[in-house]
C-alpha cells in the first residue's frame, strides 16, 4: 500500500504551499523532540524539494487546449495533477504533542486524531486513499491544504467535518458512498479557500452547496438527475466542470444552469442522455466534451455565444449531415478541433468552421468528399482523419481537397473501400503523413503520389499502402521518386501475397 500511495501523495504535495499537520499546536514541519520518557518514538517528516520556481512553487498545467488567464493563481488549471516530487512516511500511530516550547499551565496535551496506518503525511498534505475509512477524520490544522480520501467507504459528512481545516485548497472524496441525504448542506461552507473538489464515483443525485472559491469541480459517475438554475450559483471562479456519466437529458438541464459560470473554460458532459447541445453555455468556454450521448442535431443558435470555443467533441452520437444547421458553427472564430467520429455521417459535412485545423470523421459511413468542401477555410486544415468509412475512388474528386494545398499535413484514409489511389493528392504540397492501408487498391500509377514532372522532393515522411492488393513488381520505378527516405513507404504485407508470390 505504501508503494502505491507514495507517488500519489508526491503529486498532491506539489499543489500545496507550506503547511503542517497538527492537532491543536502540533507542528510536523520541524523535527520533533527526542523520545519522551513514556517511550513514544518521535515522528520526523521528510520534506520534499519542489521542482519549478526558485521559491519551490511548482509549475501548473491546464486541460489541453486551454488559453490560461494571466491572473490565474495557484490551483487554476485542468483536471490533471501537477508534476511535482515529494516524499512522505506512513503515520505510525496516534501520539501526544511534542512541542518546541512550554505548554500553557494546566492544559492537557491533545493527542493526534487516529488515522489508519496506511495514511501518508507529507508537508501540508494527508493521503488516506483506499484505507477503508468510514468517516472523515477529526482534524484541526490551519496549515493543511490537501486532503486525499479517495476510494474509501465514507457514507456521511456532517456539518462540522472540515471546521478545523479553514485553509484547505484541494479535497478528493472520489469513489466513496456519499449521497444527497448523507452530505450535509453546509459541509463545505467554511472552506473559503477550496480550489479543487473531486466527488467522482459517489451516489449524489443533486449538486451540493459549494464554496465560491472553487476553480475545479468533478462530479463524474454520480446519479445526478438534473442541473437547476441554482446548481452552480456563486461559482464565478470555476474553470473546470466535469459531470460525465450521470442521468442528464434535455428535460432536466435548466437553460440558466450555467449562467453563474462566467469564467468556465472546460466543460465535460460525456456519457449522459442528451439529444441536443445544452443551451446557455458560458461565453468563456474553450473546450466542450459531449462524447457518448444521443445527440441527433446541432441547431444554429446553440453555439452562437460560444465565441471562445476551440475544442468541440461530439463523437459517439447520432449525427447526420442533414441535421447539422448550415450556420451551426461556421462563424465560430476560434474553433480549431472538431471531433465528429463514430456518428452516422455519409459525406463530409458542409459549412465547417472557417478556422478549423483538426477534423476527426473516422468511424462514420462516409462515401463522398464533396468538391470545394474545404475551400472556405483559412488558413486550412492540418489534420483530416477519415479512417474506417466507406469511401470509394469515385467519391473523391480532383477538387475534394481544394483549399488544403499548403496546410494539410496528415491525411488518414485507411480502412475504406478505395480501389485506386485517390485523385487530388498531388496538389497537397504540405502533406507529411498519408495512410491508404487496408483498402482495395491494386495499382500505384505513375504521378499518383509523386509528380515526376516536378523537380522538388515531397514533404512525405510516412506513406502507408500495406494490406491492399498491390503487386509490388508492377509498381513503376519512379512512383515514389519524390520521397527522400524510401523506407518511409510501407508496402508489406499485401492481401493474398502469400498465395501467389
Of residues 63 and 415, more confidence is placed in 415
Given a cut of 60, whether residue 7 has pLDDT beyond it is: no
Cα 169–Cα 174–Cα 175 angle in degrees, nearest 5: 165
Give dist(CA 130, CA 148) in Å, integer.
10
**Does the pLDDT value for residue 43 go beyond 70?**
no
Among 178-182, 192-196, 365-369, 453-457, the range scoring the smallest mean pLDDT is 453-457
Average pLDDT over residues 268-280: 97
pLDDT value at 14 more than 80? no
User: Which is it for strands 125-127 and 146-148: parallel, antiparallel or unpaired?
Assistant: parallel
Q: Residue 337 has what pLDDT?
A: 98
In the prediction, which pLDDT does 11 show? 47
CA-CA distance, 168 to 327, in Å (whole number)? 46
Q: DSSP label at 34? A: S
Residue position matching grid coordinates 504540397? 429
Q: Reduced to 3 states, what is the DSSP secondary structure of residue 488?
A: helix
Residue 287, H or E segment:
strand 287-289
pLDDT in tens, 429-450: 999 999 999 999 999 999 999 9
- 319-323 — which CB contacts under 8 Å span 24+ positions? 319/295, 319/343, 319/344, 319/345, 320/296, 320/344, 320/345, 320/346, 321/345, 321/346, 321/347, 321/349, 321/350, 323/296, 323/297, 323/298
At residue 122, the pLDDT reads 87
3-class DSSP assignment, residue 163:
coil
pLDDT band at 271 (very low <50, low <70, confident <90, very high): very high
pLDDT band, very low/low/confident/very high, at 18 (cuts 50, 70, 90):
very low
Give me the mean pLDDT over the 184-197 stretch.
95
Q: What is the C-alpha to C-alpha distance for residues 219 and 238, in angstroms, rounded to an integer? A: 13
Higher pLDDT, 21 or 292: 292
- Say which DSSP state 207 is in: P
- Give me the pLDDT at residue 455, please: 83
Q: For residue 134, how many other CB atoms are within 10 A of its CB?
A: 11
* 496 pLDDT tier (thresholds 50, 70, 90): confident
Half-sphere exposure of 263 (CA within 13 A, CB side): 19
The per-residue pLDDT for 48 is 35
Residue 125's nearest CA partner among 145, 152, 141, 149 is: 145
Q: Would you say residue 469 has pLDDT above 80? A: yes
| Cα end-to-end span (Å), the chain | 57
335 Cβ contact partners less than 8 Å away, ≥ 6 residues apart: 309, 310, 311, 312, 329, 353, 355, 356
Ramachandran quadrant class, 335 (left: phi over 0; alpha: psi -120 to 50; beta: rest): beta
The percent of residues in the chain predicted with pLDDT above 70, rounded, is 77
Q: What local confidence, expressed as pLDDT, does residue 475 receive? A: 95
Q: What is the pLDDT of residues 201-220, one digit of tens each?
A: 999 999 999 999 999 999 99
Contact 116, 137 (CB under 8 A): no
Residues 71-105: tens digit of each pLDDT:
433 333 333 333 333 444 444 433 333 333 443 43
Q: Which ranges of 304-450 would DSSP assign to H, the alpha helix? A: none
User: Quick one: pLDDT band at residue 34, thresholds 50, 70, 90?
Assistant: very low
Farthest-apart Cα atoms in the chain, separation: 99
pLDDT digits (tens, 9 = 90+) for 404-418: 999 999 999 999 999
Asked whether residue 167 carries a pLDDT value surpassing 60, the answer given is yes
- pLDDT at residue 498, rounded to an integer: 63
Which domains, ranges and CATH numbers included, belong to the chain? 1-65+75-99+108-223 (3.80.10.10)
**What distance in Å separates the CA atoms of residue 458 and residue 54, rounded to the nearest whole number?**
47
Q: Average per-residue pLDDT in the chain?
A: 83
Which one-letter DSSP state was computed for residue 227? B
pLDDT of 113 reads: 61
Residue of higher predicted confidence among 224 and 24: 224
Q: Return d(Cα 124, Cα 156) in angstroms, integer.
A: 25
pLDDT of residue 123: 85
- Residue 468, CA distances (Å) to 416, 417, 471, 496 in order: 11, 10, 9, 9
**Confidence label for 65 from pLDDT (cuts 50, 70 and 90):** very low
Indicate if the pLDDT at residue 501 is higher than 60.
no
What per-residue confidence (pLDDT) applies to 377? 96
- Give the least confident one: 40-49, 260-269, 299-308, 344-353: 40-49
Compute the average pLDDT of residues 348-376.
Answer: 97
Q: What is the pLDDT of residue 218?
A: 98
Amino acid at each position: 500500500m505504501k508503494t502505491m500511495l507514495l507517488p500519489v501523495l508526491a503529486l498532491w504535495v506539489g499543489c500545496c504551499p507550506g503547511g503542517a499537520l497538527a492537532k491543536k499546536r502540533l507542528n510536523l514541519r520541524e523535527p520533533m523532540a527526542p523520545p519522551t520518557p513514556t517511550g513514544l518514538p518521535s515522528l520526523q517528516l521528510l520534506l520534499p524539494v519542489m521542482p519549478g520556481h526558485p521559491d519551490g512553487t511548482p509549475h501548473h498545467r491546464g486541460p489541453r487546449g486551454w488559453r490560461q488567464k494571466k491572473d490565474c493563481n495557484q490551483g487554476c488549471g485542468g483536471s490533471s495533477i501537477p508534476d511535482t516530487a515529494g516524499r512522505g512516511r506512513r503515520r505510525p500511530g496516534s501520539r501526544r504533542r511534542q512541542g518546541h516550547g512550554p505548554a500553557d499551565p494546566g492544559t492537557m496535551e491533545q493527542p493526534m486524531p487516529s488515522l489508519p496506518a496506511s495514511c501518508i503525511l507529507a508537508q501540508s498534505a494527508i493521503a488516506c486513499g483506499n484505507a477503508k475509512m468510514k468517516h472523515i477524520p477529526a482534524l484541526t490544522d490551519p496549515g493543511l491544504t490537501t486532503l486525499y480520501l479517495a476510494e474509501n467507504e465514507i457514507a456521511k459528512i456532517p456539518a462540522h467535518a472540515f471546521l478545523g481545516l479553514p485553509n484547505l485548497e484541494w479535497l478528493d472524496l472520489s469513489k466513496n458512498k456519499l449521497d444527497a441525504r448523507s452530505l450535509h448542506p453546509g459541509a463545505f461552507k467554511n472552506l473559503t479557500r477550496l480550489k479543487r473538489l473531486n466527488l467522482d464515483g459517489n451516489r449524489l443525485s443533486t449538486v451540493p452547496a459549494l464554496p465560491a472559491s472553487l476553480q475545479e469541480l468533478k462530479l463524474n459517475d454520480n446519479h445526478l438527475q438534473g442541473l437547476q438554475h441554482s446548481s452552480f450559483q456563486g461559482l464565478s471562479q470555476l474553470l473546470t466542470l466535469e459531470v460525465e456519466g450521470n442521468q442528464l437529458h434535455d428535460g432536466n438541464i435548466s437553460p440558466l444552469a450555467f449562467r453563474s459560470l462566467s469564467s468556465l473554460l472546460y466543460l465535460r458532459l460525456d456519457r449522459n442522455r442528451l439529444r441536443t447541445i445544452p443551451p446557455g453555455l458560458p461565453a468563456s468556454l474553450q473546450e466542450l466534451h459531449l462524447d457518448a450521448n444521443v445527440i441527433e442535431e446541432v441547431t444554429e443558435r446553440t453555439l452562437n455565444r460560444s465565441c471562445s470555443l476551440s475544442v468541440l467533441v461530439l463523437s459517439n452520437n447520432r449525427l447526420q449531415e442533414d441535421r447539422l444547421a448550415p450556420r451551426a458553427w461556421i462563424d465560430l472564430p476560434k474553433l480549431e478541433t472538431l471531433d465528429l467520429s463514430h456518428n452516422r455521417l455519409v459525406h463530409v459535412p458542409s459549412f465547417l468552421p472557417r478556422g478549423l485545423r483538426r477534423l476527426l470523421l473516422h468511424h462514420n459511413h462516409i462515401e463522398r468528399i464533396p468538391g470545394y468542401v474545404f475551400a472556405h477555410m483559412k488558413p486550412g486544415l492540418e489534420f483530416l482523419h477519415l479512417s474506417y468509412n466507406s469511401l470509394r475512388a469515385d467519391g473523391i474528386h480532383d477538387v475534394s481537397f481544394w483549399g488544403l494545398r499548403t496546410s494539410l499535413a496528415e491525411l488518414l484514409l485507411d480502412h475504406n473501400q478505395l480501389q485506386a489511389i485517390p485523385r487530388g493528392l498531388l496538389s497537397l504540397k504540405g502533406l507529411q503523413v498519408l495512410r491508404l492501408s487496408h483498402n482495395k487498391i491494386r495499382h500505384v500509377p505513375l504521378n499518383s503520389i509523386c509528380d515526376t514532372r516536378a523537380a522538388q522532393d515531397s514533404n512525405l515522411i510516412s506513406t502507408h499502402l500495406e494490406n491492399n492488393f498491390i503487386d509490388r513488381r508492377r509498381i513503376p520505378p519512379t512512383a515514389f521518386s519524390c520521397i527522400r527516405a524510401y523506407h518511409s513507404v510501407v508496402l508489406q504485407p499485401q492481401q493474398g501475397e502469400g498465395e501467389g508470390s
